Amino acid sequence: MKNLKQANGKNRKKVLGVSRIEVRHEMLLFLAASYGITSTSVSWFIYFMSKTLEVQKKIKKGLSEYNGQRLSIKHMDSFIYLECVLDEVLRLVARVLGTTRTLTTNDQLPKSGFQFKTG
């Protein structure tokens, strides 16, 4: 990635790499996106469960086998039906439609010379 930095208001100096602020912006984007994806997925799961009583019963039955026990990540492999339901919810509902970006300055790939135009 190339950045253009303004030096003394006149000269432009090409800097290769990614700035710390760009990395921070990308990290914040991923953090915000993961929060949105998780909350949306949980909402859809609750919605579908409210519509399918039989599925609710099967999930409750699977969980009741561990009644009173403290569950850990080790138990996850035993919840096969719940995993199938979650997979189906995630299949049915689009979680991320994509992120779009627009160039603000023309750029060029260093080795191939391929040109990218703004907009």
Domain ranges of the chain: 2-96
Note if the pTM is more than 0.85.
no
pLDDT digits (tens, 9 = 90+) for 84-99: 999 999 888 876 666 6
How wide is the angle at C-alpha 14 spanned by C-alphas 8 and 16, nearest 5°? 135
- At 52, give phi and psi (nearest 5°): -130, 90
**Residue range 16-36: average pLDDT?**
82
Q: Which residues pair with 6 in a beta bridge?
A: 12
d(CA 9, CA 14): 14
When pLDDT is cut at 50, 70 and 90, the band that residue 50 belongs to is very high
